[in-house]
Structure 1
Amino acid sequence: MYGFVQRHYVPNNAFIVISGDVETAAVLNTVRSLFGDWQRRAFDPVLLPSEPRQLGTRHAAKNFATELTRLALGWQIPGENHADKPAIDVLAFLLGSGRSSRLYQELREKRSLAHYVWAGAWCAPEVGLFNIEAECNPADADKLQKGMLEVVTEMQKNGPGRAELEKAVRATLSSQMRTLSTVKGQAGSLGNGWLLTGSLDYQRQFLAAISALTPEVIRDAARRYLRPEVMSTVIVGSDVETTGKTKATPDSARPDIQRFKLKNGLILLVGENPRLPLVSVRTNFLAGVLAETDTSAGVTQISAQMLLKGTKKRIAAQIASELENRGGSLICSADAHRYMIGADVMLGDETDALDLIADLILNPALPQAQLADVKKRQIANILEEKEDPLTVAMRKARREIFAGQPFHRTALGTEQSVAALKLTDCRAMLHASFTTGNGIISVFGDVKASVIKAQVEKAFAKLPRGNRQIALGREYHTSSKPAAWTEHLDKEQAVIVVGFRTVGLEDRDVHALNLIDEACSDMGSRLFNRIREELGLAYYVGAQNFAAMGAGAFYFYVGTDPKKVKLAEKELMAQINDLAANGLHSDEIDRARVTWRSSWLRSQQGNTGMADICAWNEINGLGWDHFQKLPGIMADISSREIQRVAAKFFGEKKAFIVRVLPK
C-alpha cells in the first residue's frame, strides 16, 4: 500500500478543482501555500492492455436464495472518449431510463413480466459496458429475457421516433443542467471531464453532441454494439445453475423473525437468515425533529457524528477501522425521527460489532475539539441545500405547511441553531434518547436467535432504563393557512411547488397517498405526459408524499423556464384539481400497485433492508411485522377510496404554493 501511494500520489498525477464564490487570485495563493512545496517525482503511468473485443456469447448463472430472479444482458462498448458515447448514452435512456422507456412500457406495463427493468452505459476512458437489468418472478424469467431482446431488436430495426428522441435529449440536457446548478455539480463536471478526456470543454462538447443526434444515429449505434452474437447473459435466482430455469421460492426463504423483550426492557428483533455468512445489526433510538426545539434543531445529527469521534475505550481512528479491517462497515447517523447506529459484518464478527455499537451508545467521549468541525460540515450541507431551487421551494413549503409544528424544521437544523449548539446540548439529547424504552435493536443474518439474545443482553446490560421520548399516536396541529409565496435565487431555472397538509404514517389514508405518489411521480404519469410532453412546459415534474410520525404533507412540483411559470403553474393546478375531483384512473392505479410491490419486494432482499424495515416499523408503533401486512392493505385500496383521499387533501383552496424565480 505504501508503494502504491508513493507511486501514484504525486503532483504531476493530480489536479484540483475549485468552484464557487471565490476570488481566483486568492484561491491560487492558498493552493500554492498548501501544495506548492509538494515535490514532483518520476511517475510511470499504468499502461493497461487493450481490452480484447468479445467474440461469441457468454453465459453465467448463480443460485441465490431469493424470491425474485434477476437477469442482466451486457455488451462491450467503447470508452468515454469515443465519438459514439453520446449516442450510446441516449440509447440507454430510450431503452431503460424511467417509466416511459421502451423496456419499462413493454415488459412491465404491457406484458407484466418485470418488477424492475433498467438500461445504462458505464464507461472508463478505455472501454465500457452497456447493460440491461431486470427483476421478475422466477416463472417469468425465460419470457422476460426473450422480451428484452425483442425490445432491443425493434430499436435496431426502426430506431426511435423523432418525438421520442427529442424527449430523451431534453431529459438528458435537463439532468445535466440540474447538475450544473450547484457549485458541487460544477466542480464534479469539470473534474470528471478533465480526468476522462483531459479537456475543460468536455461537458459543452458532450451536450452539443447530444443535441445533434438523429434517430438514424441511435439506430446505427444499437446495430453496431448491441449484437446478440457478442452478448453476455447473467441470471441469478433460486435454482438456475443446473437447469438454466428458475423455480418459485417458498415464503420460507424469508428470515424467521422473532421478537424479544430483554430483562432491562429493551426490544430485540432477530431474523435468522442463513443463506449467506453475513450479519446486519441496527439500533434505532427515537430523537430527531420531534425531540428538538427551534434552538436545538440539528442536535440529533450533530451528536450522531460526535459519537464517531471517540469513546472512553476507543479513539476515533479505532472506531473507524475496527470493522473495516475485517471487511465490515459501521453506520452512525440520524434522520428526522431517530438515531441509527449499526453494522454490517461477516459471520463471526457480530460479537465485536455489538461491543463497538454498545461502546458508542454507552460511553461516548464527545471531545470538545471535534465539535467545531462537525458543526462546520453540517452548516455546509445546509448552505448547499440553498443552491438548489427545488430544495429551496420544498423547504419553504414545508415551513409553511407545518408552521407551529415540529416538522417545520428539518433534521439538519438551521445555520443559526447549529452554530449555537454546545456539547451540553449533545449530551442532553443522547442522555434522553439512549434508554431501554426508547430504542430497538434488530439483528438479521446467519445467526441463532438464542445466541444473539444472550450477546445483546450482555452488551447492553448497562443501558439506562427509560420511557419513550415521543408518544405514540400524538397528532400535531397547526393554524397556518394556505397561501402563495415567492422566493428568488441567482439561478436561471424556475420551480413551482404546490403542497398540501395530509396525515402521518400511522393513518390509513397514507397508503392511498402513497399510491397517488407512485402514479404521479414517473415519466409515464399524467403530470409528465401533459405538462412536459404535450405542452412542453417543464424540465421535470413529479410528486412526493412525506409521511412522518403524527404529521404529513404531499407535494407536487415542476421545474420550468422562467418565461413559462404562469402557464406551468396553471396546468399543474388544473391536474391537481382534476385529481381531487376524479381520483386516479384504473390503469394508473394498477401501474402504481405494480410499482409499489416491486419496491416492496426489493427492499426485503438483504439483511440490511430487513433489519432497517423491522426496526423502524417497531419503533414508530406500526409493529415490526407491518411490512408483511402491506400487500393486503394496498390491494384493498379501491378507486373510490383514492378519490375520497384526493378530495379530502387536494384542491386549489387547500394549496400552499411556493415559486422560486431567478433574481
Structure 2
Amino acid sequence: MNQLHSTSPAAPDQLSLPPNAAQFHTLNNGLEVILLEDHAHPLASVQFWVKAGSLHEEKWTGAGLAHLVEHMFFKGTTTRTASQISQEIQARGGYVNAYTTFERTVYWIEGVAEQVDGYLGILSDMARNSNFDAGELVKEQEVIRREFAMDNDDPQSALQHLLQQTAFREHPLRHPIIGHLEVFNQVGREDVVHFVNRHYVPNNCFLVITGAIDSATIMESVEKHYGTWQRRPYEPVMMPDEPDQVATRQAKREFATDIARLSLGWQVPGDSHPDKPALDVLGFILGSGRSSRLNLLLREELGIAHWVGAGAWSALDRGLFAVEAECDPEDLAQVEEAISKIIQTAREEGCKPDELDKAVRTTLSHQLRTRSTTRGMASSLAHSWMSVGNLNHDRAYLERISTLTVADIVQVARKYLVPETLSRVSIHPTGTLEKTTGIATTHTREEIQSFTLSNGLTLLVGENPRLPLVSVRTQFLSGVPSETSETGGVTQITAQLLAKGAGKRSAEQIGALLEDRGGSLQSSADVHRLFVGSDVMKGDEELAMGLIADLLTVPTFPVKSLATLKKRQIASIREEMEDPLTVALRRARKEIFAGLSYERTAMGTIESVQALDVDACKTHFQQTVQGKNGVISVFGDVKAEEVREQVARLFSPIPPGTSHRDQYAPLTPTAEPSRHELTLDKEQGVLVVGFPTVGLEHDLAPVLHLIDEACSDMGSRLFNRIREEMGLAYYVGTQAFHALGAGAFYFYVGTDPAKLDLVETELLKEVADLAANGLQPDEMERAKTTWKSSYLRGQQGNGALADAFGWQQLNGRGYQHQLIQPEIISSITPEQVKAAAAIFFSTKPFVVRVKP
C-alpha cells in the first residue's frame, strides 16, 4: 500500500488490516462456501446468502415478492413448524434474523460456536424444505400489510421512495424493496413457490461461516446438510436499460410531519465501477461526520439543518449519489442554496490532500471495527464476494482509495454531479405546499484493572491487544433524576455543547481532530449519564484522551451553538411524536411515573428545551463533572500503567466533588392505573399495556429481564399467539425498563386499528396467564440461552466493553457485576419467575392506545 504522508504517526501502511485467512470452497452442486476461523470469542456467525432481491422479481416487479419469501421462510418446513424453527435456534443459543435488499436475501444466525452444525441444519431445512403453507401465507401477508403501514408512516421512507421513483424510469431500482401494496395484494402461493424454485438453487447461493470454528469439521457439516441439494439450471435476470437522463427531475409531496426533508440525487455507476471509490470519498468529505463540509456549514455555521448527510449507494450495476437534509420548513430554500454552493465548490476544487488522508484512515478504522464481531466479519466477506467476487475487496478497495488524487475527486464531481442528471425531491408538512408554492401534492479478555485517582475519579483499564484499536469512555451520573421539569433535556444539550468549543479549539477543530485520523468522538447523554468518549486506532489514544479532558475541563459553551442544538433537539422531540409506538410508550411512562422524575425522558420537552440558556448548562455541567461522580474506561491495545499515568495527568483538573448516587434512591410510584386513547395522523394502531416494577439494583430486576427475553423472541408465546396463530399484528413484544430506583414493564402490539379491541383482549389474556403461571420450563431455558448469547455478543468490541463496565461501576454495583450477570440469570428458578409475575402483572394495568 502506498504511503500517503511519511510524517503521519499512524499512516495506513503502518496500521494495516490483519491478514485475511478466509477459505473458499465450492461444493459439487455449485454452492459456494466461505470460512474464516477466529477464536477471539466463543461465538460464530452463519449466513446464507441468496443472490435474489427485489430487482429479480421479473413480471412481479414492485410486488415485494422477495421480501415476502424471506418472511415465509420462517413459517415452517416439511420437518419443523414455525415455532419449532425459532425455538430450536433459541435453545441452541442462537439469534436468527433475515433481510432483503435490492439484490440479495440473507438469512443469518449468530450464536455459540459449538452449535454451528445445528444452525447449518436449520438453515438448510428452511432453504430446501419450506412448505409455504397457504394459510400461513395469508397470515403473513396481513403482517406485511402492517409493515406497509409502518413504512407509510415513516417520512424518511417516503423521501427515499420518492427519490427512487423520480431518479429511475425503467430500472427496477425505482420500486421500494417492500413493493407496492396494490401489487402485493395480488400475489398468491404459486408466485411465491415459483420465485423460490427460480432463484433458491445451490448455484445461486453461498454460505459464510465465521468465528471459533474448525474449518475441516465445518466443511463436513456443510456437505452433510447441503451436499445433496441438487444443482438446477439457472438463467440470470437481465436488467432493463435505463434511459439516459437529460434534464433535472423534481417531485414534492406532503406528509404528516413538522420537519421538511430534502434529497438531491444523481445517478452513478455500481459497486464494481472504477469511479466508485472516488464517489465514496466525495460523499465522505461532503457529509460524513462533524467535520464534513455540509455539517460545518449547514449545522454549525448557519444552524439551518437538523441533520445533513451525503453518500453513494449502489446496486451491482447502478445507484445514486445523494445529499439529504432535514430542516424546519421555513429554512428549506436556504438549505438547498447552501448545499448547491458546496456541490459547486466540490466540482471546482475537489478535496484537499488531508481530506483524502482522513478518508483512508476512516475506511481502515471502519474495516477494523467490522472485524471485531463475528457477524461483522461474515457480512464483510459476503458483501465483498457478492459485489466483486474477491474476498480481499476490503484491502483492494482501501488501496484504490489511497491512490486517489484531488484530480480524481474533481473528475467524478464534474462527471456525475451535474444538473442534467439531478433528481430533486422533498417532503413537506401537510398543507404547506399549497400555501407556499401552489404545487399539487404527488477473544479472551484480559483482567480489568481498577484505579482511583487523587480527585476521586475511577479509572478502569482493559488490555486487549487483539486489534490495534482503543476506546475511551468517560461517564458521569446525571440525566433525568438531576433535572427538573423546567430543565428537562439539559444533560443532553450540555453534553452536545461540550463538543462545540473547548480551550482554544473551535467546534470545527474538535470535530476534525480525531476524524482526520480515522477516529470518532461521542458526546451525548441518556436517562442516567452524561458521557464523552472516543474510538481511535492505536497510537492516537493520548490524543483522544487529551481532547476529552479539554472538553471536560475547559469547555467554552458557545452561545451560537446552543441555539442550534436546542433547535435540533426540539426537532428530534417532534420526530418522536410522529412514531405511534414511541408516542404510546412515552405516554404510558408519563402515567406510571406521574409526579416522579422518570415521567420525563432524557430529551426533555419542547418547552423545557426552549427555556435553556448557557448559564443553565454551565451550572449543570459544574454539578455533574466531578471526580467522585465519574468513571473513565480505557479498553483496547494499551498498557494499564501507561494509561494510568496519562489519565492522572490529563484529568487532574476535574474537581473531586461528590457522588450523586443519593439522587437515585428507590422511588415508589403512586399513580392509579388509567386508560388513554390517543390519535395520530398515521395508518397504524398501537397498544401498550404497562406496569410499574422495580429499579435495576433490585433483586427482581434480573427476573424481569428474563421474562422480557422470553416474551420478546420470535418463538415467544405473545408472538406465536397474537402474530402467528391469530394474524393480528405486525409486531408484538415487551420492554423491561429498569432505571436506578424505579422501573416499568411494557407489553406492546402494532396492529390494524380496527383490531385494537380484539388485540387488547388477547394480550390481556396472555398477561393474566403469565401472572398466574409464570413461564414454562422450555420458555425458561430458551430465554436463558438467548440471553447468554446476547450477552456474549455485547462483549464484542472495545467500545461496548468500556461502556458496559464503566456503567456498572458508575451505578454503584461495581464493574465486576458485568462479569457475574450470566451466573445471576442462570440461577433464576421457575418459582422466582412465577412469584415476580404474580407481584407485578396481577394488578390493574396502565393502558395506552394510539389510533389514526
Structure 1 partner of 2:187:
213
Matched, 1:586 2:777: yes
Structure 1 partner of 2:277:
none
Corresponding residue SS for 1:279: strand
Structure 1 residues 78 and 135: alpha-carbon distance in aligned structure 2, compared to 1, 3 A threshold: closer
Partner Cα distance (1:88, 1:184) in 2: 22
Write the deviation string for residues 184-210 of structure 1: whole angstroms up to 9, x where unpaired: 443233234445667999459533333
Unaligned stretches of 5+ residues in structure 1? 1-54, 247-251
Given the alignment, which residue of 355, 376, 381 partners 2:546? 355
Write the deviation string for residues 332-351 of structure 1: whole angstroms up to 9, x where unpaired: 11111101211111111111
Write the deviation string for residues 376-402 of structure 1: whole angstroms up to 9, x where unpaired: 111111111112222222111111110
2:57 and 2:195 in contact (8 A); partners too? no
For 1:232-631, what aligned pairs fall within 5 Å after superposition?
Answer: 232-238=206-212, 240=214, 253-471=444-662, 474-631=665-822
Structure 2 partner of 1:35:
none
Unaligned stretches of 5+ residues in structure 2? 1-28, 221-442
Write the deviation string for residues 226-249 of structure 1: whole angstroms up to 9, x where unpaired: 322343332222465687679xxx
Partner Cα distance (1:334, 1:368) in 2: 20
Given the alignment, which residue of 166, 174, 177 partners 2:149? 177
Partner Cα distance (1:173, 1:195) in 2: 26
Partner Cα distance (1:518, 1:637) in 2: 13
Instruction: Compute the displacement of 1:462 (Å).
Output: 1.0
Partner Cα distance (1:305, 1:502) in 2: 32
Write the deviation string for residues 544-599 of structure 1: whole angstroms up to 9, x where unpaired: 11000000001112233333333222222222122111111222222211221111
Q: Is the deviation greater in 306-315 or in 159-168? A: 159-168
Partner Cα distance (2:153, 2:113) in 1: 43
Structure 2 partner of 1:120:
99
Corresponding residue SS for 2:723: helix
Partner Cα distance (1:62, 1:432) in 2: 50
Structure 1 partner of 2:158:
186
1:514 and 1:545 in contact (8 A); partners too? yes
RMSD after superposition? 2.7
Structure 1 residues 457 and 507: alpha-carbon distance in aligned structure 2, compared to 1, 3 A threshold: same
1:62 and 1:237 in contact (8 A); partners too? yes
Structure 1 partner of 2:196:
222
Structure 1 partner of 2:835:
644
2:54 and 2:66 in contact (8 A); partners too? no
Structure 2 partner of 1:657:
847
Amino acid at match of 1:119: A
Structure 1 residues 277 and 231: alpha-carbon distance in aligned structure 2, compared to 1, 3 A threshold: same
Partner Cα distance (1:97, 1:315) in 2: 55
1:515 and 1:593 in contact (8 A); partners too? yes
Instruction: Compute the displacement of 1:414 (Å).
Output: 0.5
Partner Cα distance (2:84, 2:467) in 1: 35
Structure 2 partner of 1:3:
none
Amino acid at match of 1:618: Q
- TM-score, length of structure 2 as denominator length: 0.66
Amino acid at match of 1:520: C
1:517 and 1:545 in contact (8 A); partners too? yes
Structure 1 partner of 2:70:
92
Given the alignment, which residue of 106, 110, 118 partners 2:85? 106
Amino acid at match of 1:595: T
Given the alignment, which residue of 123, 132, 156 partners 1:148? 123
Partner Cα distance (2:496, 2:713) in 1: 35
Instruction: Compute the displacement of 1:63 (Å).
Output: 3.4
Partner Cα distance (1:595, 1:196) in 2: 43
Partner Cα distance (1:445, 1:325) in 2: 20
Corresponding residue SS for 2:662: coil
Partner Cα distance (2:602, 2:810) in 1: 18
Instruction: Compute the displacement of 1:434 (Å).
Output: 0.8
1:265 and 1:436 in contact (8 A); partners too? yes
Question: Aligned residue pairs: how many?
Answer: 594
Structure 1 residues 479 and 460: alpha-carbon distance in aligned structure 2, compared to 1, 3 A threshold: same
Partner Cα distance (1:507, 1:303) in 2: 30
Structure 1 residues 136 and 599: alpha-carbon distance in aligned structure 2, compared to 1, 3 A threshold: closer
Amino acid at match of 1:471: D
2:83 and 2:715 in contact (8 A); partners too? no
Partner Cα distance (1:237, 1:103) in 2: 27
Amino acid at match of 2:848: V
Instruction: Compute the displacement of 1:140 (Å).
Output: 2.9
Structure 1 residues 56 and 561: alpha-carbon distance in aligned structure 2, compared to 1, 3 A threshold: closer
Structure 1 residues 210 and 142: alpha-carbon distance in aligned structure 2, compared to 1, 3 A threshold: same
Structure 1 partner of 2:224:
none
Partner Cα distance (1:532, 1:559) in 2: 10
Structure 1 residues 197 and 541: alpha-carbon distance in aligned structure 2, compared to 1, 3 A threshold: farther
Write the deviation string for residues 109-157 of structure 1: whole angstroms up to 9, x where unpaired: 269445122222222xxxx2332322233333344324422321113xx
Partner Cα distance (1:104, 1:316) in 2: 52
Percentage of pairs with the same residue: 43
Instruction: Compute the displacement of 1:56 (Å).
Output: 4.3
Instruction: Compute the displacement of 1:471 (Å).
Output: 1.9
